[in-house]
């Protein structure tokens, strides 16, 4: 189990989307099951994005 996604951008995209889907189920099972498509952005690799 991943406890932090500090380096999540290093994971393959499919794994990141799977991680997001599984954690969305913690919010609501039906919500998590309804996520068929997704987008994964490794924000730490984006220029000029240093947190907010």
In a domain, 52, yes or no: no
Buried b (16+ CB within 10 A) or exposed e, 13-36: eeebbebbbeebeeeeeeeeeeee
In a domain, 15, yes or no: yes
* Cα distance between residue 36 and residue 32, in whole Å: 9
pLDDT tens across 36-50, in order? 777 777 777 778 876
Does position 6 have pLDDT exceeding 70, yes or no? no
In a domain, 2, yes or no: no
In a domain, 38, yes or no: yes
Give the predicted TM-score (pTM) of the model. Answer: 0.57
- Find out whether 17 and 27 touch, Cβ atoms under 8 Å: no
Does position 35 have pLDDT exceeding 60, yes or no? yes
| Higher-confidence position of 28 and 42 | 28
In a domain, 1, yes or no: no
Count the domains in the chain. 1
pLDDT tens across 12-22, in order? 888 888 888 88
Domain that holds residue 16: 11-45
């Amino acid at each position: 189990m991943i406890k932090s996604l500090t380096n999540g951008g290093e994971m393959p995209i499919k794994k990141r989307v799977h991680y997001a889907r599984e954690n969305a189920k913690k919010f609501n099972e039906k919500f998590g099951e309804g996520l068929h498509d997704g987008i994964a952005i490794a924000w730490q690799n984006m220029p000029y994005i240093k947190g907010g």
